[in-house]
Structure 1
Amino acid sequence: MALLRVTALTGLSVIVGSAVTALLCVGPRQLSRATNDLGHRARDVAPYLAAALGLLAVKQLTQGYRIRISRALDWHITDELYAIEGEFVTALQRATPDATLELFSAAYMLGFAVLLVAGPAVYFLAREGGQRHLKELLVAYMVNYAVGTLCYTLFVGYGPRKYLDSVDGLLYQFYPETQELTAAVASNTNVFPSPHASLSVAVAAVAWRSRRRFPRWTWIAGALAATVVYSTMYLGIHWATDVLAGAVLGAGSAAVGARIVTRAERRAPGEGPDRLDGPTSEPEPTPGDD
């Protein structure tokens, strides 16, 4: 029952947060126009969305097999992670004010989900240029899941809260009900690289590429991503090494997404690629002001 309540609360928070973000970043006029063109927009991104959902489904369906492979390989890397950075997370927890615990707990559980959902929503509803960035983001998600799943299968690692007595599992002390939800969607050995860091940085990287058309979203995505990344260490869930590897994966996946979409759009018959960020011959409306 607790899992159902936490899931419902998280889902509602994500929906509200994403809707408010889209309204703020796109603007009511563009949102109104988007309702007249939903079919065309959906058809345009359908192949990318179908591929992303298909990969996610395969990931879920093969979870049992991957766990058995991981146990058979038995490549534990937690000692190596500790050897690299030692007591860094312990020092980080001690240096961070206790008053921020609620902020970083909310960022980890809710801010991360809003970041992943709001990005596609903003790009899908935008009048011009958004479809291109949405495709890049979906490809970045796929690269993250593919590389991350491979790493979680090969390597068995545990976060600092499970390895060091000096590190507290602050999230589950503050909000114990969330432990059921996190256990339902991910294994506690999904440590290297940090999925929260990799996906957050991927969203922020695509947002940076779209900064001239979506300046408000760039600032929001950057702030949320930075807070989520910090929270993974402060809450004792990930090592700094996990976060660094996740950041590299996130930035790399965004670059790969841009390259793949560019090539795919060039090959599309009768269609040229959407205009990218950069100087244009016509002035553009400020997002959210119309």
Structure 2
Amino acid sequence: MALLNMLLLTGLAVLAGLTMTCVLCLDRRQLRRTIGEYDHRLRDVAPYLGAAALFFLTKRLTHDYSVKLSHALDWDITAELYAVEGEFVAHLQAIVPRSTLEFFSVMYMFGFPFLLVTAPILYFALSSQRHLKELLIAYVFNYAIGAICYTLFIAYGPRNHLSTVDGLMYSFYPQTQDMTAAVSANTDVFPSLHTSLAVVVLLFAWRSRRAYPRWFPIASFVAASVVFSTMYLGIHWLLDVVAGIVLGVGSVYAAERIVARAEGDADRVSVPGERDEGIASDASD
């Protein structure tokens, strides 16, 4: 029941954030055109949606096997992570006021799925589906690399390894632990996918800033809060976050080239501002 309540609360929070963002970023003409071209746009992006759906279904079905394989390999890198960065997370918790706990817990639990859901909805509303295609591939790339790392490496977060670090969110909001446990193991730490995916959404928000000038500051604020929350709440090490940033940037780079090859324009050389100018025309539709 606790898990069901958390899922319902998360869904409502994401829906509220999505609605407010659409009100701020989309106009009536764009909405009407999106509705009118719904079938065409859906057909255009269908192969990418299908590939993403197949990947995530496979990942879900093989999750338990991946966890068993990870423990069989028994490559625990927790001590190595601690040896490199030491008590950074403990010091971070010590200097950040506890009055911010509720805010960062909300960002971690609700801000993260808000970013993942809102970005593809906004890009579907553009007449060109290029950004949506690249975003979906970047999502898949992140989770694929993350799944490989989580299988190869056992790593426990600071809250599970250091007595000086508190699992703040789980201590004050224990019901959130049911939801996080349902989607990942407590050894799924390196790299931080919360960080990498937040970076992905942020980079796409930057690239589409002419089409959606209000989306970029929203995504920037939420993404930065999500990344910081992963450390402040004692869930990830600083090294997890650094690795997540690298993964996020790399996945956007890879997704752009994968989609270019799939769309038959792999040899096209982008010039500065080319993409933004193309997107800007969508915003004026």
Class of the TM-score when normalised by the shorter of the 2 chains: over 0.9
SS of the residue 1:193 aligns to: coil
Match of 1:249 in 2: 247
Residue 222 of structure 1 deviates from its aligned partner by 1.5
Match of 1:110 in 2: 110
For 1:209, the aligned partner's letter is: R
For 1:39, the aligned partner's letter is: D
Match of 2:50 in 1: 50
Match of 2:145 in 1: 147
TM-score (norm 1): 0.91
Query: Identity percentage over the alignment?
Result: 56
- Specify whether residues 141 and 279 from structure 1 end up closer, same or farther in structure 2 by C-alpha distance, changes over 3 A only: closer
Partners of 2:276 and 2:234 lie apart in 1 by 41
Partners of 2:173 and 2:274 lie apart in 1 by 42
Partners of 2:260 and 2:93 lie apart in 1 by 43
- Specify whether residues 73 and 226 from structure 1 end up closer, same or farther in structure 2 by C-alpha distance, changes over 3 A only: same
- Specify whether residues 85 and 262 from structure 1 end up closer, same or farther in structure 2 by C-alpha distance, changes over 3 A only: same
1:193 paired with 2:211, answer no
Conserved 8 A contact 1:212-1:277 = no
Conserved 8 A contact 1:105-1:171 = yes
For structure 2, the residue ranges without an aligned partner over 5 or more in a row are: none
Match of 1:203 in 2: 201
Conserved 8 A contact 2:156-2:186 = yes
Residue 70 of structure 1 deviates from its aligned partner by 0.7
Conserved 8 A contact 1:70-1:156 = yes
More deviation in 187-196 or 199-208? 199-208
For structure 1, the residue ranges without an aligned partner over 5 or more in a row are: none
Q: How many residues align?
A: 280
1:158 paired with 2:150, answer no
Conserved 8 A contact 1:196-1:232 = yes
Q: CA RMSD in A?
A: 2.1
Partners of 1:63 and 1:93 lie apart in 2 by 32
- Specify whether residues 46 and 286 from structure 1 end up closer, same or farther in structure 2 by C-alpha distance, changes over 3 A only: closer
Residue 85 of structure 1 deviates from its aligned partner by 0.3
Match of 2:132 in 1: 134
For 2:137, the aligned partner's letter is: V
Match of 1:229 in 2: 227
> Over residues 36-59 of structure 1, what are the superposed CA-to-partner deviations in whole Å (9 max), with x where a residue is unaligned?
111111111110111111111111
Partners of 1:173 and 1:276 lie apart in 2 by 49
> Over residues 124-172 of structure 1, what are the superposed CA-to-partner deviations in whole Å (9 max), with x where a residue is unaligned?
123x34x111111000001001100000000000000010111111111
SS of the residue 1:188 aligns to: coil
- Specify whether residues 283 and 100 from structure 1 end up closer, same or farther in structure 2 by C-alpha distance, changes over 3 A only: closer
